[in-house]
Chains A and B, each alone.
Chain A
Amino acid sequence: MQQRTFLQSFVSKPEFGPLVLLVLELMVFWSFNSDFLSLPNISNTLSFTVELGLIALAMTLLMTAGEFDLSVGSVFGFSAVLMWTLFNSEMMPLGVAFLVAIAASLLIGFVNGWFVTKLNIPSFLVTLGMLLVVRGTALYVTDGFPQRTWNAQGNLFANVLAGSYFIGSFRMYMSVIWFALAAVAAHYVLTKTKAGNWIQASGGNPNAARARGVNVSRTKICLFMASSAMASLAGIISSIRTSAANPNSGTGYELEVIAMVVIGGTVLTGGRGTIIGTVLGIFILRVMRNGIVMIGVPGLAYNIFIGAIILGMMALHSWLERRHNSGV
């Protein structure tokens, strides 16, 4: 095997394709509308990018372990509704209501993981069922109406979680910081730790992993819980930012999140995942959503672009995968 140049190994990385696409996208939007890279637009784009991004980070780890979670969009909506319902009915302070919502999401994740690992039901079916149960619960307890959120004004807890501060004329959202921390942590776990090795092994060859003493079931259950908790956190942050806790919010997010992850280069069948790729995938889709509106394409056309990006990136990844497997 000959020594490869730095450039060759850089190009053959799964993150290379998404990186090129993101740069292209930014250049195209910027050339059409110079406001695209204005500080308020960057700040605005970042704020809604990171909310879905939090879910995508956890989903990357879960998908690397060979499973995925369709219930994240429902948990996104349900958690915010649960927290605000508890808070508005003056049963508990906001911080405690937050913890209750996170605990509920952990339980949802645990049930998902338990069904998948102990009953051997594919995660597609288990989390599809959970999607309906959780969404149905959110709609039922609220009668379909949004919950009041405006009395969170000035609440310290809400500010730490989802507030915003001006750095010069740039509005910095706290959620961006949480996202950055979560991304670094997820990257560290996946690439540098024993847990990360187990996650990849669980997705790559669960039987071999089990034979080596890797607890595949526990690894997967933990990841289902993480995915659910991140969806819950994202939903709560979003509800504070938009001052709305709607039982219908988050509908369809599961597919957008999975799209972000696979565009970034994580394999749907498990075994290989990349947080750097996912971060790129998150920005590719969210910048697209913001950009096509900025340059005057009707927002309804958004899905056409997303679909085309997914198909294009999958073709690229499958080509890279073949090269990778042949040891190039």
Chain B
Amino acid sequence: MAEDLIRMEKINKFYGRIHALRDVNLTVRTHEVVGLLGDNGAGKSTLIKVLSGAVPLTSGNILIKGRKVELKSTADAIANGIETIFQDSALVPQLSIARNLFLGREPIKGGSFLNRLDQDAMNASARELLKRVGITKDIPPETPIAALSGGERQAVAIARAMQFDSELIILDEPTNNLGVAETQGVLRFVREARDTGHSCIFIAHNIHHVFQVVDRIIVMRGGRVVADDIDPKHTTIEQVERIITGEELLHAITA
């Protein structure tokens, strides 16, 4: 039985007088890929920002494996094993793949006074890692991120999250602006991440992509979680769409 990795309890978030999150409860188990869906303004982004440490919550608790944590910054969240991959913003375009992978945790060789990067070790692990996430093309680890395609960048960001054993990887619209083959690549990395023991929250506008990869779907609307246990194997895309727009609920009330 998979245990709870993340538990968010009664999360509320106000932006001024706007009540963006209303008593949100959300659980992510270990080895689980969760799809987070909802229309624009449903509160997905705010929830993810709270969980990634980018914005503070107004009230509520976040527990990681039963232990209460405070996430004051993105660095805090990363230190707690929560890695968020925002579209195109997680990497430094001018730096090489290897240097991006190790940014902030660079291995040093020689005396600490010399502050010297262990470039060889970085390149060797980078090569290994790129192979692991399925980049079979021969891309040297010295290649700057700017020279990579959108899908390759996502792959590098995911590889980095896997490298540092983040237990939860949050992917915010990872398939936006990607071609068909690249999208399939990203979805493959997500499965690879789950198979190697990571959990994921997968956010995408394209419900088809979500259906291809997740174990469970959570739907938000109006700052609340309105459904949190949708099994994609026993649900149709049309049903989920109706939950997102609220038709399903309306139907339940009027029936």
* Interface residue ranges, A against B (CB under 8 Å): 1, 189, 192-197, 200-201, 203-205, 207-214, 271-272, 324-327
Chain A contact residues: over half helix, strand or loop, or mixed? Answer: helix
B84 to A: closest C-beta gap in Å: 8
- Chain A contacts for B147, CB-based, 8 A: 324-327
Interface string of B147-158 (1 = CB under 8 A from A): 110000000000
Q: Which of B11-19, B86-94, B180-188 contacts A (4 or more CB under 8 A)?
A: B86-94
Alpha-carbon gap, A196 to B114, bound state (A) = 12
Q: Looking at chain B's contact residues, is the secondary structure mostly helix, strand, loop, or mixed? A: loop
Q: CB within 8 Å of A: which of B90-149?
A: 90-95, 99, 103-106, 108, 114-117, 119, 137-140, 143-144, 146-148
B78 contacts chain A at the CB level, 8 A cutoff: yes
**Which partner residue on chain A sits nearest B79 by CB separation?**
A213
How far, in whole Å, are A118 and B28 apart by their CA atoms in the complex?
A: 37
From A197, A200, A201, A211, residue with most partner B Cβ within 10 Å: A211
A193 touching B114, Cβ below 8 Å: yes
A-B contact count (CB 8 A): 84
A212 close to B75 (CB less than 8 A): yes
From A195, A200, A324, B146 is in contact (CB under 8 Å) with A324
The answer for the CA separation of A213 and B104 in the assembled complex, in Å, is 5
Indicate if the CB atoms of A272 and B115 lie closer than 8 Å: no
CA distance A192 to B106 in the complex (A): 11
Least CB distance from B34 to A in Å reads 22
Contacts of A211 in B (CB 8 A): 74-75, 78, 84, 90
Q: Which residues of B lie under 8 Å from residue A326 when comparing CB positions?
A: 147
B residues near A (Cβ < 8 Å) are: 73-75, 78-79, 84, 89-95, 99, 103-106, 108, 114-117, 119, 137-140, 143-144, 146-148
Determine how close the nearest CB of chain B comes to the CB of A106; give it in whole angstroms.
20
Cα(A1)–Cα(B147), bound, Å: 11
- A244 CB → nearest B CB, Å: 39
13 contacts between A and B (CB under 8 A): A1-B139, A192-B119, A194-B108, A194-B115, A197-B106, A201-B99, A201-B103, A210-B73, A210-B74, A212-B103, A214-B104, A271-B92, A325-B147
- CB atoms of A200 and B94 under 8 A apart: yes
Q: Across the interface, which residues of A come within 8 angstroms of B137, CB to CB?
A: 1
Is the pair A204, B115 in contact by a Cβ cutoff of 8 Å? Answer: no
Q: Which A residues are in CB contact (< 8 Å) with B75?
A: 210-213
Please give, as numbers and ranges, the residues of chain B lying within 8 Å of A210 by CB-CB distance: 73-75
For B103, list chain A residues within 8 Å (CB). Answer: 197, 201, 208-209, 212, 214
| Contact indicator A1/B138 (Cβ below 8 Å) | yes
Q: Given that A1-B140, A207-B89 are contacting pairs, would A197 and B95 also be in contact in the complex, using a CB cutoff of 8 Å? A: yes
Residues of B within 8 A of A197 (CB): 95, 99, 103, 106, 117
Chain B residues lying within 8 Å of A192, measured Cβ to Cβ, are 116-117, 119
Q: Is the CB of A204 within 8 A of B94?
A: yes
| Assembly CA distance A324 to B103 (angstroms) | 22
